[in-house]
Structure 1
């Protein structure tokens, strides 16, 4: 499970291929990813924005940026965690994602970037 920690905020990722939503013959591969964001710092933090880089083995690169995650801007007290599930589609059965969250320390309004570790999206039959 890819994991990184930035300024006391730990981000972990797990992924799943979703064959029931995919159509490999039509170059449509759907993946779900589960993110856990854990606040190991001594400050209360709020997730403001996300910024993703999505790389497809076809050579295509997409950027996705916006407020919060799945419609929320979670506030995490020290020791708290927030989990969410989202998805991504690729034209090939192989790709990767990486990104950042823009966080804010609520006590003083200081904003900082938290790294999202790079993770691979791969259909199981490509592993052989």
Structure 2
């Protein structure tokens, strides 16, 4: 989903999730998920991913917020048309949850802008109809 209507600052974000049964343990209320993110700069300005903010919500509506610099130890610079992909994970106490958030970007012209990540679901396969 595009971050800005202005074509100068346009980051498209694609998310795919994966349940990790080998790391999960239902008896211990431990449900582990990976999320694969691809960011693509569809704007006309190079932009660097500076920070991230996630809101992680489990099936009991408990939320946990994460703030940090970059992603996976990097602050990638995306030229127009360039993509950056990474994988990270989340551990929930319930089998179903969701995440949403944003990346704070810094364009080469000095403009700071947010690239929002719409909510996505974390759930084992065949759990939701």
| TM-score of Structure 1 vs Structure 2, range by shorter chain | over 0.9
Task: Give the match for residue 55 of structure 2.
Answer: 53
Query: Which TM-score applies when normalising by structure 1?
Result: 0.94
- Structure 1, unpaired ranges of 5+: none
Task: Give the match for residue 42 of structure 2.
Answer: 40
Q: CA RMSD in A?
A: 1.0
Distance 2:98 2:72 in 1: 20
Q: After the TM superposition, list the runs of 4 or more consecutive aligned residues in structure 1 that deviate by more than 6 angstroms.
A: none
Query: Which TM-score applies when normalising by structure 2?
Result: 0.93
**How far 1:125 moved relative to its partner?**
4.6
Structure 1 residue 100 and structure 2 residue 102: aligned? yes
Q: Does the Cα contact within 8 Å between 1:12 and 1:117 map onto a contact in 2?
A: no
**How far 1:123 moved relative to its partner?**
1.4
Structure 1 residue 5 and structure 2 residue 2: aligned? yes
Q: CA deviation digits over 1:58-109, x for unaligned, max 9?
A: 2210000000001100000000000000000000000000001000111x21
Write 1 or 2 for the structure with the bigger share of strand.
1
Task: Give the match for residue 111 of structure 2.
Answer: 110
Secondary structure of 1:124's aligned partner: coil
Distance 1:59 1:96 in 2: 9
How many residue pairs are counted as aligned between the two chains?
124
**How far 1:52 moved relative to its partner?**
0.3
**How far 1:6 moved relative to its partner?**
1.1
Distance 2:21 2:122 in 1: 13
**How far 1:117 moved relative to its partner?**
1.7
Structure 1 residue 121 and structure 2 residue 122: aligned? yes
Distance 1:60 1:6 in 2: 27
